[in-house]
């Protein structure tokens, strides 16, 4: 009987976790299964490029798993039975129950469309490639009549969307709406560059008020003002799925799984959480900031931790420090904010096309990681962790 490891989520955290672990275990002793809702890898930091009609390479997750023993299951994890050590996965062909001995929870985050009234009905959020393609068609149609676009959210996502849309559709009237100044956490030099770039691109910035409601054709702010739009693009923060909380795992107030310094659940041994779905403690505080960089570092690390524990060795705890924030402002302007170890911004920044090249190198480096997760000299050690008694996988028909 093998020790079954199941990884939930095929994003920046789950994909490298599954591949890297498989390189460090004996395949006759440990099986690795990757469960993901999407057959294609969603490169979320490039969705704003797709939304303006740019061609972005799309890679099937199965292609990343070629010549590996990782088993791929396409479907959404809808239930976790912690006592029975099973996950219910629902896909186009029905539901199946997949058993596990060790579970890695990497379901990431998505745009929060529930905290403000009317967002789900009257705004678009770039949550995947299909939505990005639909937004692209809508922007082209609105641009033909020199319409208005409202972008809600002054974080990295909102900043990048507003700049990209304004650059590719100069006929559009683009307004970025944010309670606080966009990029207010950046250094003075970076904020000055950001404001100058917005002015150059024609992006109007409205700050000082929250969006109270998104109605058909206009935003209503909490000060009573209205901002009209033909298309509203919502980037007002992220939230994680509630599956971990619903399953009984200990979570924080944002439903991120509480883990220790080895990324293991504080409430359930043998359950690990990584990426945006995890509240990873450290010198940075109780949790890491959400973003692909969080997944890109916790994913490979949890693979090393599991490989060590399965072989009876003590793992090294997770360590990390922030280095930079990469912000694209269209294809001609970019901004790299370098950071101190405590996340405070340095006065050192990189701007313009060099910053775009820097960010592209960072994103392309992640895709290289997906193909070559390492370790370069992988040693497959024998399993020493005993395999508990458990049920075998069963498959249910849609009718059930």
pLDDT tens digits along 9-30: 999 999 999 999 999 999 999 9
Query: Do the beta carbons of residue 114 and residue 235 sit within 8 Å?
Result: no
Chain position carrying tokens 């579970």: 103
Q: Is 275 helix (H, G, I), strand (E, B) or coil?
A: helix
- Does position 308 have pLDDT exceeding 50, yes or no? yes
Tell me the pLDDT band of 366, cut-offs 50, 70 and 90.
confident
- What own/partner pairs with CB < 8 Å and gap ≥ 24 does 337-342 have? 337/186, 337/187, 337/190, 341/283, 342/283, 342/284
**Residue 217 structure tokens:** 């054709």
Residue 98 structure tokens: 């997949």
**Which of these, 39, 34, 38, lies nearest to 100 by C-alpha position?**
34
- Please report which confidence band the pLDDT of residue 395 belongs to, taking 50, 70 and 90 as the band edges: very low
Q: Tens of pLDDT along 149-207?
A: 999 999 999 999 999 999 999 999 999 999 999 999 999 999 999 999 999 999 999 99
148-152 and 110-111 beta bridge pairing: unpaired
Pair of tokens at residue 35:
């469960």
Per-residue pLDDT tens over the stretch 114-130: 999 999 999 999 998 99
Separation between Cα atoms, residue 262 and residue 250, nearest integer Å: 16
Is residue 398 within 8 Å of residue 93, measured between CB atoms? yes
pLDDT in tens, 25-58: 999 999 999 999 999 998 999 999 999 999 998 9
Using the predicted structure, report yes or no on whether residue 398 has a pLDDT greater than 60.
no
Alpha-carbon gap, residue 238 to 236, rounded angstroms: 7
Q: What is the CATH number of domain 119-236?
A: 3.50.50.60
Burial of 382 (0-12, 13-18, 19+ CB in 10 A): exposed
Domain boundaries, the chain: 3-109+240-320, 119-236
- Read off the pLDDT of residues 247-259 as tens digits, 9 standing for 90 and up: 999 999 999 999 9
Q: pTM surpassing 0.85? A: yes
Q: Which residues pair with 339 in a beta bridge?
A: 345
Instruction: Determine the Cα angle at 109 with ends 345 and 74, to 5°.
Output: 140
Phi, psi dihedrals of residue 325, rounded to the nearest 5°? -125, 130
Nearest residue to 244 via CA among 78, 385, 3: 78
Characterize the bridge pairing of strands 271-273 and 102-105.
Answer: parallel
User: What average pLDDT does range 78-91 have in this prediction?
Assistant: 97
Predicted pLDDT at 400: 35
Rounded CA separation 79/331 (Å): 42
Q: Do domains 3-109+240-320 and 119-236 have the same CATH topology?
A: yes
> What are the residue ranges of helices labelled H in 39-151?
47-51, 61-64, 119-122, 129-144
What's the rounded mean pLDDT across residues 302-325? Answer: 95
In this predicted structure, what is the pLDDT of residue 342? Answer: 80
pLDDT bin (cut points 50, 70, 90) of residue 397 is very low
Domain 3-109+240-320 has CATH 3.50.50.60: yes
Rounded to 5°, angle at Cα 75 from 74 and 81:
125
**Whether residue 348 has a cis bond before it, omega within 30° of 0:** no
């Amino acid at each position: 009987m093998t020790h079954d490891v199941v990884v939930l989520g095929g994003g920046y955290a789950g994909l490298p976790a599954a591949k890297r672990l498989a390189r460090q275990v004996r395949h006759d002793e440990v099986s690795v299964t990757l469960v993901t809702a999407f057959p294609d890898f969603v490169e979320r930091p490039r969705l704003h490029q797709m939304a303006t009609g740019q061609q972005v390479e799309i890679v099937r997750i199965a292609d990343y798993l070629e010549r590996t023993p990782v088993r791929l299951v396409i479907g959404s994890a809808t239930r976790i039975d912690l006592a029975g050590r099973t996950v219910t996965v629902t896909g186009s062909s029905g539901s199946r129950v997949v058993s596990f001995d060790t579970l890695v929870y990497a379901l990431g985050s998505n745009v929060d469309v529930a905290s403000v009234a009317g967002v789900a009905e009257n705004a678009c959020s770039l949550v995947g490639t299909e939505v990005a393609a639909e937004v692209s068609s809508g922007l082209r149609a609105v641009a033909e009549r020199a319409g208005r676009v409202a972008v809600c959210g002054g974080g990295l996502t909102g900043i990048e969307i507003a700049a990209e849309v304004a650059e590719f559709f100069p006929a559009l009237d683009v307004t970025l709406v944010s309670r606080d100044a966009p990029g207010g956490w950046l250094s003075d030099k970076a904020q000055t560059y950001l404001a100058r770039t917005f002015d150059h691109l024609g992006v109007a910035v409205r700050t000082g008020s929250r969006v109270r409601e998104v109605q058909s054709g206009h935003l209503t702010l909490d000060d009573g003002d209205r901002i009209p739009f033909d298309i509203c693009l919502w980037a007002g923060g992220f939230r994680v799925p509630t599956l971990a909380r619903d399953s009984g795992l200990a979570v924080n107030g944002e439903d991120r799984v509480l883990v220790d310094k080895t990324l293991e659940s504080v409430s359930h041994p043998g359950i690990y959480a990584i990426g945006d779905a995890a509240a990873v403690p450290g010198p940075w505080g109780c949790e890491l900031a959400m973003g692909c960089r969080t997944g890109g570092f916790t994913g490979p690390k949890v693979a090393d931790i599991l490989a060590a524990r399965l072989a009876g060795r003590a793992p090294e705890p997770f360590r990390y420090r922030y280095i930079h924030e990469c912000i694209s402002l269209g294809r001609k302007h970019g901004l790299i904010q370098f950071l101190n170890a405590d996340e405070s911004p340095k006065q050192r920044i990189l701007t313009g096309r060099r910053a775009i090249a820097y960010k592209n190198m960072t994103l392309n480096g992640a895709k290289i990681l997906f193909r070559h997760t390492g370790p370069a000299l992988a040693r497959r050690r024998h399993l020493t962790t005993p395999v508990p008694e458990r049920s075998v996988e069963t498959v249910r028909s849609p009718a059930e």
